[in-house]
Amino acid sequence: MDDVSKCPVMHGSATNNKGVSTSNKDWWPNQLNVNILHQHDKRSNPMSVDFNYRNEFKKLDFKSLKKDLNDLMTDSKDWWPADYGHYGPFFIRLTWHAAGTYRTWDGRGGGGTGDQRFAPLNSWPDNGNLDKARRLLWPLKKKYGSKISWADLFILAGNVAIESMGGKTFGYSGGRPDIWTPPEDIYWGKENEWLKNERYTGERVLETPLGAVQMGLIYVNPQGPDGNPDPKASAMDIRETFARMAMNDEETVALTAGGHTFGKAHGAAPEENVGPEPEGAPIEQMGFGWKNVHGVGKGGDTITSGIEGPWTTNPTKWDNSYFELLFKYDWELVKSPAGAFQWHPINPDENDLAPDAADSSKKVTTIMTTADMAMKEDPAYNKISRRFLENPDEFADTFARAWFKLLHRDMGPKTRYLGPEIPKEDLIWQDPIPKGDSSFDVKRAEKEILDSGLTIQELVETAWASASTYRQTDMRGGANGARLRLLPQKDWDVNKPDQLSKVISVYEKIASNVKASVSDIIVLAGNVGIEKACGVKVPFTAGRGDAVQDQTDIDSFKVLEPMADGFRNYQKQDFEASPEEMLLDKSQLLGLTAPEMTVLVGGFRSLGISRNNDGVFTNDINNLSNDFFINLLDMSVDWKPTGKNSFDGLEKKSGKKIKSASRVDLVFGSNSQLRAIAEVYACDDSNNLFINDFISAWNKVMNADRFDLE
């Protein structure tokens, strides 16, 4: 017997399953992953239960931290020497790659959690050697401890880096709490090899919700699409991937040029000289990866992207030389020492050469990547680039604003910002909402709602339609602002536009009568509907404000439209993902646990809230009850599929159809984890538990975006 098979204990911690054990996922790879609703459990968090990071950040000596960061920029270490004696470009890349994973489709990614410390991000090929940047920051993290999160430190480092090299920044906010385990909910792509591409269909149509062109990249392949050095084709990839991170053409050009004003790319030798990434490296490397055996393995011998050289003549100074060089020269396609495609200027002047990063007495040619050449070859990018060439101040301002957006897009509304460098200007992408007023007569409003003639279903559905747009990933959406009555939300099919228009017109009159915001009335009315259905008081906290159309970027809000909402049994169309998987995804975005998801679905069905009436297993839709669970688990019914997402419930004795359901409904009886929860709510003595849990989960969703209550 080998050593593993001799071991007397069956280890859940075994690093190799072979001959030891297999997981449920190994046996049933299509099993619904309910665990994504319970990630980042308190038990994984080393901080005390009452630890509040936002309060700790307020105690931070921000000025001292910035000084220490600024000093670090030129404190070159022998173990990983700084190019040009300045770590600024290195930390800009760290910050960019922390924030740059953000994507608009589901709000996931971004720098808001410090997840670059964990797999897979810490080992993505595009993040090569950033393990060293994080270790350079460790002495400062150690010094300031719990008052600065890794997430905030990663972002602040890039800002200080820009400022230390003469660049302009627009501002900074802290307040990003760290996570302590790798996120399970982010889909990075189906590929099982680094830098592979299986995410396109048709004419280069990128799979939703992905924001990068290949597995393990942040945005695009700098050599061109799948390594093809075609600048115009690269422009197509750039435009799509940057748009998926909420950037327009102007912001895209500014970020590309601004980022590449600093530093250099590293490709001193072929990648065969580089060892495994941090997660695959041997234990004695202590979390470091990409061990380089070429030369001394660092400094001038560094290998990262494979591209080699600086973009500008002074890589540690903010200036306009990126555009000056781009348009001054014709460029020829060459290969780096590592064999990567890159572009060199033809016959450059002596004063347009750059210093060698490790030996300033030597001069080297500047370079452009294929992605950089797209800024010249694409007509729209070319026009913007030439304008920035001729207007350096406009370029600097556009870059500062776009950089700020890159770093803060996933932080939610401006009311969450912390620190002394918060910009005063309100920006449209921050989804601004006027301050609300909580002084209105709530009892009078409740009476007018009850007297309005609206049904329980209309009251509850409208409140859910408003509040359930919230995403905990980037803290967008939610009931605050009442954008449900504005474009584009008022026309979304999932919101039943005709019904919604009728309800909102009633709410606007009530809001006017009692001098309340429509957003408060929407939530209050949903509470009134639930109270009417169960006789139990639902908590309500006033103070929401109403946004106007001019404060609402229609294109930006389009991504919040639910393609599926299992809580309402709604599917806009058939998708590759199953309805129950999409229910889990929406629940995770809402920050719900599995019991909260379960009780909400059951409650909505008992109130008759379901497209096509599927899953409505009750005779009284005006009574909030546990009927859904009781009848779902009824053993006298056989379920037969009638379509991809439709099932008939047949009485076993007679074969007569007595009910219908969707996959979302039946999963609470078929999935063992969800059935265990459903059984709790189906018990004869559980109706009060069910009602209380429903109200608790409901209240959580209604107030998810109330950051003013934190």
For residue 14, name the pLDDT band (cuts at 50, 70, 90). Answer: low
pTM above 0.85, yes or no: yes
pLDDT over threshold 80, residue 16: no
pLDDT over threshold 70, residue 11: no
pLDDT at 8: 58
Percent of the chain with pLDDT over 70: 97
- Mean pLDDT in residue range 248-267: 98
pLDDT at 216: 98
Chain-centroid distance of CA 461 in Å reads 27
- Mean pLDDT in residue range 642-664: 97
Look at residues 548, 519, 544, 554 and name the one whose alpha carbon lies nearest to residue 429.
554
pLDDT over threshold 90, residue 180: yes
Q: Which own/partner contact pairs does 187-196 have at CB distance under 8 Å and 24+ positions apart?
A: 188/120, 188/215, 189/215, 191/215, 194/124, 194/125, 195/125, 195/221
Report helix, strand or coil for 345: strand
- Mean pLDDT in residue range 584-594: 98
For residue 29, name the pLDDT band (cuts at 50, 70, 90). Answer: confident
Question: What does the pLDDT look like over 479-537, one tens digit per residue?
Answer: 999 999 999 999 999 999 999 999 999 999 999 999 999 999 999 999 999 999 999 99
- Mean pLDDT in residue range 400-428: 97
pLDDT at 18: 52
pLDDT at 184: 87
Question: What does the pLDDT look like over 201-227, one tens digit per residue?
Answer: 999 999 999 999 999 999 999 999 999
**Number of Cβ atoms within 10 Å of the Cβ of 66:** 18
Look at residues 179, 25, 112, 40 and name the one whose alpha carbon lies nearest to residue 593.
40
pLDDT at 26: 86
pLDDT at 554: 97
97 assigned to active site:
yes
For residue 23, name the pLDDT band (cuts at 50, 70, 90). Answer: confident
Question: What does the pLDDT look like over 314-360, one tens digit per residue?
Answer: 999 999 999 999 999 999 999 999 999 999 999 999 999 999 999 99
Q: What average pLDDT is seen over the chain?
A: 96
For residue 20, name the pLDDT band (cuts at 50, 70, 90). Answer: low
Active-site residue among 38, 40, 97, 408? 97
pLDDT over threshold 70, residue 10: no
CA angle 267, 233, 369 (to 5 degrees): 25
Mutual orientation of helices 594-606 and 672-682 as an angle, nearest 10°?
Answer: 50
pLDDT over threshold 60, residue 259: yes
pLDDT at 559: 97
pLDDT at 2: 52
For residue 7, name the pLDDT band (cuts at 50, 70, 90). Answer: low
CA angle 652, 654, 655 (to 5 degrees): 65
pLDDT over threshold 50, residue 1: no
Question: What does the pLDDT look like over 51-71, one tens digit per residue?
Answer: 999 999 999 999 999 999 999
Encoded tokens for 448: 């007018």
